[in-house]
Structure 1
Amino acid sequence: MGEDEARWREAVAGVLKGASYEDTLTTLTPDGVRLEAVYPRRSGTAPIPGRRPATPWTIVQRVDHPQAVEANALALEDLEGGAGGLSLVTNHSPYARGFGVAIPFGGDLDRLLDKVQRDAVVLRLDAGAHTLDVARLLGEIPGGTVHYGYDPVGLLAATGALPPAWPSTVSVLASHRQNGTVVTADGRVFHEAGATSGLELACVLSAGLAYLRILEATGIRLEEARHCIGFTLAADQNVFATIAKFRALRLAWQQIEKACDLAPAPIHLHAETAWRMLSRRDPATNILRGGLATAAAGLGGADSITTLPYTSANGLPDGHARRIARNCQHVLLSEANLHRITDPAAGSGGLEAMTESLCEAAWMLLQGIEREHGIVKALQSGWVRAQIDRLRVPPDPIIGASKYVLAEEPAVSVLRPLVESTAQLPAPALPRRRDALDFEATP
């Protein structure tokens, strides 16, 4: 303990008046990570390799209107407003939430991408079990970078069933790769089910391992196979925890690469602000949540970010809500310049400690999943669901929903209202819900 810390602790002891320092000023997270009140500085700590230095992340907007022509108009408005990427969310995606564009035939895709400069836009597919069908249609339209986003593990967790012949689908997609990634180890479904940061990371890491094994089994060298895998994490309003989670994923994947005798290389990491944190009541508060989550993801090294519009829990967002979502990112990039420093958390005593502790917690949970013979078996056996239930904690107060509630809710403009499904999915599907849902049901 340094002299400055000793003086600080002496001053704190006087304020606490006999109360326990550990009980009052330290916190233990559900993952077992102890958060201290003060940390020593760390000098000479190297940044964790991630997004290229001083390179802005890509602003990605969801394209999820059910009608291709209307979806195209919204997409063009987003691109004219500075977005650099589009996430094509089809009605088969587990994240469509009752919407999603229908692309059964090539003509629909042509209408959806009409006047979109393919070579200047990053496309992400979010098409669920129909990814290969959309990818084949997309292959007929040349140009640009495409992340196929195929995630059979996530589909198992979201629907209770694996898509048929999914290993061969991975192989076919890999043969049609268009500069981007082929499969995505996606943490959103686990986050929406209530997983802690450590468990979300463990499931994502295990999914990444499963895809690495499948790609290698098809004859692709590990050196090439790892570049076929992308990662997606949910970013929420807990800024420090989100930064640590994104850094911990990159740190843990480095360990996996080393175990495969590969020199660590930066991963492609996409972020989407968390559905779980959105409130239908007083939705303007979601603008603040989205801003905090976006900043945290950017500081944590995300290569691309989707900020959910603030009215998403109320229905299909209109142009105004979409504009606020993308301009939130513009402010953080162009005015706050958050991308200028490589891994700004490097050397921070608190964030370094949180990152390392979270990485250790995720690694222990990953070992538990691997003892279950991998993420697919761990989901099918109910192991993952049991861990979510074991580690679950009540949500913090939700401003506008459970605390400081408005006496009268304002009118909210959406293109179509959202009807959240209450259907019980077959096991091993994980139940997914927003934290504010119970409070919104209270009159």
Structure 2
Amino acid sequence: MPIASDPATEPVPEYAAWRKGVAGVLAKARKVDAAELPDEPETLLTETTYDGLAVAPLYTRRDERPEPPLPGTFPFVRGVDAHRDVHRGWFVSGRVTDADPAAANRRILAGLENGLSALWLGVGERGVPVAELGTALNGLLFDLAPITLDAGAEVGAASEALFAALDGYRAADRTAIRVALAASPLTDEFAGIAGGTLDEAVALARTAAARTETVRAITVDGTAFHDAGASEAQELGAAVAAGLEYLRALTAAGTDIADALGQLEFRLAATDDQFATIAKFRAGRTLWARVAHVSGAPDFGGAPQHAVTSAAMMAQRDPWVNLLRTTLAAFGAGVGGADTVTVLPFDSALPAGELGVSQNFADRMARNTQLLLLEESHLGHVHDPGAGSWYIEDHTAKLAEAAWAFMREIEAAGGYRAALAAGLLAERIGATGAAREADVAHRRFAVTGVNEFPNLAEAALSEQAREPGRVARYGAAFEALRDRSDVYLAANGARPQALLVPLGRVAEHNVRVTFIANLLASGGIESVNPGPLEVDGIAAAATESGARIAVLCGSDARYAEQAGDAVRALRSAGVQTVLLAGAAKAVAGVADQPDGYLAAKIDAVAALSGLLEKVGA
């Protein structure tokens, strides 16, 4: 009888050759001998997530994990529904927040006619008045289009109004009518949003459980943690901890555990890190399945997942790039098995009408992002297409372990509400947000159009757009610098400027000129580039530009020869701040030192803020 091989220990013949190639490339890039590199040089290419999880540069069958069960079976890692319509895929949800019930109804029906298959409807202060909810829903086929409410503190009244509309609706199979009332008091409290109470949510769940339709009263809104800066594991762990709190409250009120599990769904953020998003939704199902199993009801652990594209990743500057971000996010959520996906409009980080485009256009682009993925790329035709990928399976398992550890930390603090009151959640999530903010500031975390490849020709934003919001957006610090530049432009007729001083041949300075121009523009500072300069022409160029800031750009070898003379020439021309593109070691021993250095690893936000202050912005 043959002995089965173990993929984890079986050698991969091609791996040694690949490792040798990696060593050669790294040695050349680092200008060292290959013998000076670690025995496993590929570890130098490993990335670490904010959860401390290692992402290797290459995965092979040595990383293979046991194949998870099929969709629809415990632990639901591959999906909660084994019979999902592959021609429909996930539900394409659209958000409607019109206060005018007639306008809301028109938007709802137009969206459904043009590709939406689910609705997320704002009610009360977040949309249509509660009393007019029936008008807004007129003509809606409830058994074909699931509906999710967003009513905040008015969720009780909104639910009653919705139930009244459902009572007058005829359906052959009322269980086909799917409704999420979306009471979310625990996560609302974390986010500082006015919401209902836990007791009200429990009472609503008991009412919902008695309905003949498929109604889930409570939404565990993980986006509240994500929007505050949480990592993937923190979002999942905190969401599971909140879910446990709901389960305890429901069962304490006399609800059976199976019915209690049936009253919860999860809302999670989908980001443009597509593989992290795929793993997050798969891991999220694994975690909740484990909770249901421990609770004695493993068959009821398949809670629906509502994916919403990340509000934190959305940029106000060059917002058209948000179309790419949301496409990647929707792809990740869909491949990851989310049941419903909402793509936020590309201009959602801006006040309505800020870009001069209609809401219909923005909504259509958000809707079509999903329709292209479903109807042209056919992503819904395969259940869990990421299954079997060594990387995705490994990252799913590791992410689930990290999230479970965070949930246990919350439980050890006394549970979700105790951890929230003690500040544990805010402290842990705040630390992650600060780490990401530092990475953005140092440009280790790229936000295209904001801290990389900015467009200084963009029109200034309105004062309303500059008001701080609840969401900790990734590019906010750089966008605040751009706002200061816009104010300066309005007052002076020109943006803050810095003179670039290219030294030597183009081949010597081109890389640093490009780097500095991009860096300065990310802070709203316009570069004045007169082209290659000889030392004796620097003073004239500085005088002509009138710039109070100048940046020397060249090779280290050229700096050793000319930096001192260039610094003297600039200062003689009245330039107040002379900077050098590169590190201080490039001018070690030079008598006339620049005032500062702009290198790849600097805190760009701090450096650019200081330069804006120097010119009065």
Q: Once the 2 structures are TM-superposed, how far is the Cα of residue 418 of structure 1 from its aligned partner? A: 6.2
Q: Does 1:399 align with 2:419?
A: no
Change (3 A) 1:419 1:282: closer
Kept in 2, the 8 Å contact 1:51–1:57? The answer is no
Q: Once the 2 structures are TM-superposed, how far is the Cα of residue 435 of structure 1 from its aligned partner? A: 1.5
Report 1 or 2 for greater relative contact order, CA contacts < 8 Å, sequence distance ≥ 6: 1
Q: Deviations over 1:197-235 (max 9, x none)?
A: 111011100111111112212222112221111001000
Kept in 1, the 8 Å contact 2:330–2:370? The answer is yes
Q: Once the 2 structures are TM-superposed, how far is the Cα of residue 156 of structure 1 from its aligned partner? A: 0.5
Residue number among 428, 437, 441 corresponding to 2:476 in the alignment: 437
Q: Does 1:31 align with 2:51?
A: yes
Q: Once the 2 structures are TM-superposed, how far is the Cα of residue 181 of structure 1 from its aligned partner? A: 1.4
Residue number among 361, 374, 378 corresponding to 1:337 in the alignment: 378
CA distance in 2, matches of 1:418, 1:287: 23
Kept in 1, the 8 Å contact 2:201–2:217? The answer is no
Kept in 2, the 8 Å contact 1:157–1:379? The answer is yes
Q: Does 1:408 align with 2:443?
A: no
226-235 or 67-76: bigger deviation: 67-76
Partner SS state of residue 283, structure 2: helix
Change (3 A) 1:434 1:341: same
Q: Deviations over 1:369-405 (max 9, x none)?
A: 0011111111111101110122332342211122111
Q: Once the 2 structures are TM-superposed, how far is the Cα of residue 81 of structure 1 from its aligned partner? A: 0.5
2:226 aligned partner: 191
Kept in 2, the 8 Å contact 1:282–1:410? The answer is no
2:500 aligned partner: none
Kept in 1, the 8 Å contact 2:92–2:370? The answer is yes
Unaligned stretches of 5+ residues in structure 2: 1-10, 28-33, 71-76, 170-176, 353-357, 486-617
Structure with max Cα Rg:
2
1:147 aligned partner: 180
CA distance in 2, matches of 1:319, 1:350: 39
1:103 aligned partner: 129
2:203 aligned partner: 171
CA distance in 2, matches of 1:82, 1:280: 27
Kept in 2, the 8 Å contact 1:192–1:275? The answer is yes
CA distance in 1, matches of 2:323, 2:151: 27
Residue number among 90, 105, 109 corresponding to 1:76 in the alignment: 109
Q: Once the 2 structures are TM-superposed, how far is the Cα of residue 104 of structure 1 from its aligned partner? A: 3.8
CA distance in 2, matches of 1:259, 1:208: 14
Letter in structure 1 aligned against 2:414: H
Letter in structure 2 aligned against 1:27: E
Partner SS state of residue 204, structure 1: helix
CA distance in 1, matches of 2:290, 2:138: 43
CA distance in 2, matches of 1:51, 1:257: 13
Q: Once the 2 structures are TM-superposed, how far is the Cα of residue 351 of structure 1 from its aligned partner? A: 0.9
Residue number among 320, 324, 327 corresponding to 2:368 in the alignment: 327
Q: Does 1:12 align with 2:36?
A: no
Letter in structure 2 aligned against 1:298: G
Kept in 2, the 8 Å contact 1:132–1:173? The answer is no
Kept in 1, the 8 Å contact 2:98–2:127? The answer is yes
Q: Deviations over 1:138-192 (max 9, x none)?
A: 110014321011111111112277734x224322333234413111111111101
CA distance in 1, matches of 2:200, 2:245: 14
Q: Once the 2 structures are TM-superposed, how far is the Cα of residue 114 of structure 1 from its aligned partner? A: 2.5
Q: Once the 2 structures are TM-superposed, how far is the Cα of residue 302 of structure 1 from its aligned partner? A: 0.3
Q: Once the 2 structures are TM-superposed, how far is the Cα of residue 23 of structure 1 from its aligned partner? A: 5.3
1:352 aligned partner: 393
2:320 aligned partner: 284
CA distance in 1, matches of 2:425, 2:288: 20
CA distance in 1, matches of 2:130, 2:260: 30
CA distance in 2, matches of 1:231, 1:61: 17
Q: Once the 2 structures are TM-superposed, how far is the Cα of residue 315 of structure 1 from its aligned partner? A: 2.6
Q: Once the 2 structures are TM-superposed, how far is the Cα of residue 22 of structure 1 from its aligned partner? A: 5.2
Partner SS state of residue 59, structure 1: strand
CA distance in 1, matches of 2:476, 2:315: 8
1:428 aligned partner: none
Q: Once the 2 structures are TM-superposed, how far is the Cα of residue 323 of structure 1 from its aligned partner? A: 0.6
2:147 aligned partner: 123
Kept in 2, the 8 Å contact 1:44–1:347? The answer is no
CA distance in 2, matches of 1:210, 1:11: 52
Letter in structure 2 aligned against 1:279: A
Residue number among 251, 255, 260 corresponding to 2:295 in the alignment: 260
1:273 aligned partner: 309
Partner SS state of residue 438, structure 1: helix
Letter in structure 1 aligned against 2:143: D
2:79 aligned partner: 50
Letter in structure 2 aligned against 1:113: L
Kept in 2, the 8 Å contact 1:66–1:101? The answer is yes
Consecutive aligned runs of 4 or more in structure 1 exceeding 6 Å deviation: none
Q: Deviations over 1:22-50 (max 9, x none)?
A: 55310111211011111123376125241
CA distance in 2, matches of 1:110, 1:132: 15
- Superposition RMSD on alpha carbons, in Å? 2.3
Kept in 1, the 8 Å contact 2:267–2:308? The answer is yes
CA distance in 1, matches of 2:463, 2:164: 34
TM-score (ref. length: structure 2): 0.65
CA distance in 2, matches of 1:420, 1:252: 39
Q: Once the 2 structures are TM-superposed, how far is the Cα of residue 304 of structure 1 from its aligned partner? A: 0.4
Q: Once the 2 structures are TM-superposed, how far is the Cα of residue 291 of structure 1 from its aligned partner? A: 0.5
Letter in structure 2 aligned against 1:301: G
Q: Deviations over 1:275-314 (max 9, x none)?
A: 0011111111111101000000000000000000111112
Kept in 2, the 8 Å contact 1:64–1:90? The answer is yes
CA distance in 2, matches of 1:418, 1:102: 23
TM-score (ref. length: structure 1): 0.90
Kept in 1, the 8 Å contact 2:272–2:325? The answer is yes
Q: Deviations over 1:322-354 (max 9, x none)?
A: 011111111111111111222122211111111
Letter in structure 2 aligned against 1:407: L
Partner SS state of residue 386, structure 2: coil
| Count of residue pairs the alignment pairs up | 423
